Structure 1
Amino acid sequence: MTTDKLTPGSLGHGYLIGMKVPSFGVEEELLLVSATGDPLPRSRSVVTDLPDVELELTRAMVEINTPVCQTAEELRGHLIRLRSQLAAAAAEQGARLLAIAVPPHGRAAQSITRKPRYQELAREWGLLAREQGVCGCHVHVAVPDKETATKVSNHLRPWLPVLLALSANSPIYLGQDTGFASWRWLMTTRWPSAGPPPYLESAEHYDALVAMHVAAGTLIDERMVYWDVRPSSHLPTVEVRVSDIPLTVDETVLIATLIRAIVLTALEAGTRGPKLEPEVLRAGYWLAARDGLTGRGLDVLRAEVMPMAQVVEQLRRSVEPALERLDAVELVRDGVERAFRDGNGAVKQRKAFHDGADLVAVTEVKPLVDS
């Protein structure tokens, strides 16, 4: 997120002076493509003069950053506005804007954005960086400090596979069905510090792990910690990075609200959080990435296999008191019901692909039309 929008004063202060609930905000990465769906390297011309929009690693990606939000409805309004403005700007440059997590057509290697940091990533990590034209959704929730962020991270770990399953939106990659609901997640976990975060004993433990990676040369700096949850390196937030870019704004709001509720529940618990068997968590992730909402899931706290719908319901019930405080009980209930009834992005993409429909049309973000 842009630091001029999300600052320690703007995001953290409200929580620290006793607000009932923490503020939150969202980063969404989106893909620019040609008429045929091939990644189109025009990000710099598209983002010119647009507020709250940034360049990303590849030249076919753009990122929107919401202002700090206090309610789900506020977040929804910002996402609609920003997606619409960006879609209109893309169209002016002959591009189409997709809410899709991996390129549907074209080739794997992408053109890297001409920024020093991104060029360094390309030099050091080669094809891994050039094939990283994938789009995620990152949710920031305010916490008082890094120590609290590490505790909250531990509480989030059991629910990361569920959040991945709900947001899965990348089954089709370069013209083929991958067999996974979230191919993006498998691609991102190739990085040295990606995937589920370790159980963190303290902020000092986190700092020591980052220092080890930097000393070993597996990370450039703390900003390159790509774990699915991390303390933000520049904001008083915990940042949750597990999600594919959701197909719709309503799905993003659902994911962000669930994450906010988990964080609020963790803040009120005040504990270090449950320890998990790493191999159980790994299995839960793998099921979520492969099957999304359509198959089995894993209760990673008990190592019990059950339908993913039941695992999602366990999450909803575990944060229901927090949802009540957020005035979001109906929002989450309706959002979950809609996801299983109508399908999320992965379900809709796969159906379109096997029906011979145009994936670009299915996933394209449209600008608002004046009434």
Structure 2
Amino acid sequence: MWSPTVGVEEEFLLVDQETGVPVNLADEVVAIAREQHGLELERELTGAQVEINTSICRDAEQARTELLETRRKVAASARAAGCRAIAVGAPPMGDATGEVTDSPRYQRIAKQFGALAEQQLICGCHVHVAIPDQETAVQVCNHVRPWLPLLAAITANSPFSGGEDTEFASWRTTVWSRWPVSGPPPFFPSWKDYEDAYTAVIESGTALDRAMVYWDVRPATELPTVEVRVADVAVSVDDAVFLAALVRALVAKATVDVQNGVIAEAVPLETLQQAGWQAAKEGFQGSVVDVLSGELVPVREQLDALVRELTPIFETNGDLAVVQRGLRLLDEEGCGADRQRRAFGNAGVPDLLALLDVDAADRNADVSG
């Protein structure tokens, strides 16, 4: 069985320490992280966001170790800059509009897409898994497509906006869907078909470059990986590495299937879009259409079926303990949206921010395993 390497990218929101309102302090946080912790953070589209990346990891447990350490450094850097870094898909408090980062590319995006760029104060978790070549990457994406709604449902972590419950488990997904090239990708028969679609999108002006083709799963633009981008940033490290283990196993299985000539089911794009909307609305506790059967099935049942199918791969590649820990966490506490609603209901903003603070989440992850 193919046991590919894996990498995780996480985006964090910078907010006022007391009110939770987004603050444009990314420059300060990036500088402090570099000077005091030797950590190179990535800038994002707005000045209220920063991004971290793991190295190329041999398994999900290595990714967990790196994320724990890096999150602590981000949290310390944010505190030194006078703010908090929180792990949330969308701003729970305040105006969801930020200052666009002063870089040539981001300023071009702002000029082309106007207010849409300013309203992207949203944070996701992206998982990269190694693949042998480009043609395999496209076919692997086809195999992963049917599982995107399930992955979105179990990782939903953005129920609030402007201090109010949106009645969505992942408000980030709704905001993200406003981009002209986002959501689940079409089914592509070949790499050439994929490249033709890329070219058409860029020539039309609906994306300025390859990196702006924001599909939920895609061959990465700069790395020899398949990148799954459907998830909100995780409330805890254990949630993030659970996602990484699932995606790693899905890609490993798909790679072998492709090599054995197995053709993925071409689920209609509109079916995936509808199931993805349901996933964003319902989260872990709800039911979402199983796009392969067409039936409405509880998310937990779909997750059980997927884990059973992938368990031999988890055992082979060493990720079974990570998966078992992630399942226990979901069963005991729900997804991030469930935890946020409980925290906010208990004591309002202070408890909510305490839950979402990135090093508080890390301490929870430390004791859960």
Report the TM-score when normalising by structure 1.
0.92
Matched, 1:307 2:295: no
Matched, 1:204 2:192: yes
Matched, 1:230 2:215: no
TM-superposed deviation, 1:355: 3.1
TM-superposed deviation, 1:282: 2.1
Aligned partners of 1:140 and 1:237 also within 8 Å: yes
TM-superposed deviation, 1:20: 4.4
Displacement over 3 Å in runs of 4+: none
TM-superposed deviation, 1:71: 1.6
Residue number in structure 1 paired with 2:201? 213
Q: Deviations over 1:262-312 (max 9, x none)?
A: 000001111341111333222221221111011112211010112111111
**Separation in structure 2 between the aligned mates of residue 340 and residue 129 of structure 1, nearest angstrom:** 36
Residue number in structure 2 paired with 1:164? 152
Moved more, 355-364 or 119-128: 355-364
Residue number in structure 1 paired with 2:73? 85
Residue number in structure 2 paired with 1:186? 174
TM-superposed deviation, 1:326: 1.4
Residue number in structure 1 paired with 2:8? 26
Q: Deviations over 1:53-90 (max 9, x none)?
A: 11111000000011110022211110001100011011
Equivalent position SS for 1:319 = helix
**Separation in structure 1 between the aligned mates of residue 115 and residue 327 of structure 2, nearest angstrom:** 37
Report the TM-score when normalising by structure 2.
0.92
**Separation in structure 2 between the aligned mates of residue 222 and residue 82 of structure 1, nearest angstrom:** 28
Q: Deviations over 1:102-144 (max 9, x none)?
A: 1111112211111111111111101111000100000000011
Q: How many residues align?
A: 351
Aligned partners of 2:135 and 2:190 also within 8 Å: yes
**Separation in structure 1 between the aligned mates of residue 40 and residue 292 of structure 2, nearest angstrom:** 38
Equivalent position SS for 1:138 = strand
What one-letter code is carried by the residue in structure 2 that aligns with 1:276? Answer: V
Listed as ranges, the gaps of 5+ residues in structure 1 are: 1-18
Out of 22, 28, 32, the position equivalent to 1:39 is 22
TM-superposed deviation, 1:44: 1.1
Higher helix content, 1 or 2: 2
1:289-368 pair list within 5 angstroms: 289-358=280-349, 359-366=352-359
Residue number in structure 2 paired with 1:245? 233
TM-superposed deviation, 1:328: 2.2
Identity %: 43
TM-superposed deviation, 1:354: 2.8
What one-letter code is carried by the residue in structure 2 that aligns with 1:313? Answer: D
Listed as ranges, the gaps of 5+ residues in structure 2 are: 364-369
What one-letter code is carried by the residue in structure 2 that aligns with 1:24? Answer: V
What one-letter code is carried by the residue in structure 2 that aligns with 1:214? Answer: I
**Separation in structure 2 between the aligned mates of residue 78 and residue 86 of structure 1, nearest angstrom:** 12
Matched, 1:147 2:135: yes
